[in-house]
Structure 1
Amino acid sequence: MSIYIGNLPSNANEDGLRVLFNQYGEVKRVQFPTDDGTDQVLVEMQEETQEAAAIAGLNGTAWMGSNLQLFTGQAWSK
């Protein structure tokens, strides 16, 4: 499972996201979009329970001036 993050501020970076998500567990991967026209970033954590906790804790949270929108890969594809 993956977490997709929308509504990120334009100056967001991998290090900042790792710090933000590390409070919920080990971050395996952060992937910023290539030039595909989307602005969603993918985050994968070590355990699905950590991903669920991160979504519950961070969805709608203001970070760097933007309210984050978090979705699982399953929810995003619906």
Structure 2
Amino acid sequence: MSIFVGNLPFRAEQEDVAELFAPFGEVANCALPLERDTGRKRGFAFVEMVDDAAELKAIDALQGVELMGRPLRINKAEPRSAGGGGGGAPRRNEGGYGGGSYSGAGGGGGYGAGRGAYGGGAERGSAPERGSGAKGWEDRSYGSGAPAGDSFDAGRTRRRRSGSSEA
């Protein structure tokens, strides 16, 4: 089992965190993850203790304790999940914040949650529900299938798709 230590001051070092947990038992490992791009600490740590009972005792005793002026959030660390998550820029036709996929698995929520070319959850290889009618152009209207001549058509705009070199 591992312990997650959140709301950690950025100036805290491994020794500070290990020293905080030492009264509850022997600390087997203490890690303060760093940001990949900047190399700075991320504001949390993972602590592993030799004895599971000592870990549970430390979690109960240290919840909310202040370290360098910040109240710590301490709980049992959850294992990493394998899917979902919207890390980085979304790929084409996938949801934004929540990840997503062509098959509708994963993700959901945030902008772009509806997957597929026009937010309709289209499967890979199937045609979008409605097109703009002009190759290389993207329909930027909102709403679906308004009849021709409707006042809705007056507000429609079209924009050149990025990456398309066709006229």
| Greater fraction of residues in strand | 1
RMSD: 2.1
Inter-CA distance 11–38: structure 2 relative to 1 (3 Å threshold): closer
Counterpart position of 1:33: 33
Residue 5 (str. 1) matches residue 9 (str. 2): no
**Higher relative contact order by CA 8 Å / sep ≥ 6: 1 or 2?**
1
Residues 3 and 47 in structure 2, CA contact (< 8 A), matched pair in contact too:
yes
Q: Distance in 2 between matches of 1:70 and 1:28?
A: 17
Q: How many residues align?
A: 77
Residues 24 and 55 in structure 2, CA contact (< 8 A), matched pair in contact too:
yes
- Percent same amino acid at aligned positions? 34
Partner-residue secondary structure (3-state), 1:60: coil
1:26-69 Cα distance to aligned partner (Å, 9 max, x none): 00000111325953210000011011011011011111100000
Q: What's the offset of the Cα at 1:19?
A: 1.1
- Provide TM-score, normalisation by structure 2: 0.42
* Higher Rg: 2
| Greater fraction of residues in helix | 1
Q: What's the offset of the Cα at 1:10?
A: 1.2
- Provide TM-score, normalisation by structure 1: 0.86
Unmatched 5+ stretches in structure 2:
82-167
Q: Distance in 2 between matches of 1:55 and 1:38?
A: 21
Counterpart position of 1:51: 55
Partner-residue secondary structure (3-state), 2:24: coil
Inter-CA distance 15–2: structure 2 relative to 1 (3 Å threshold): same
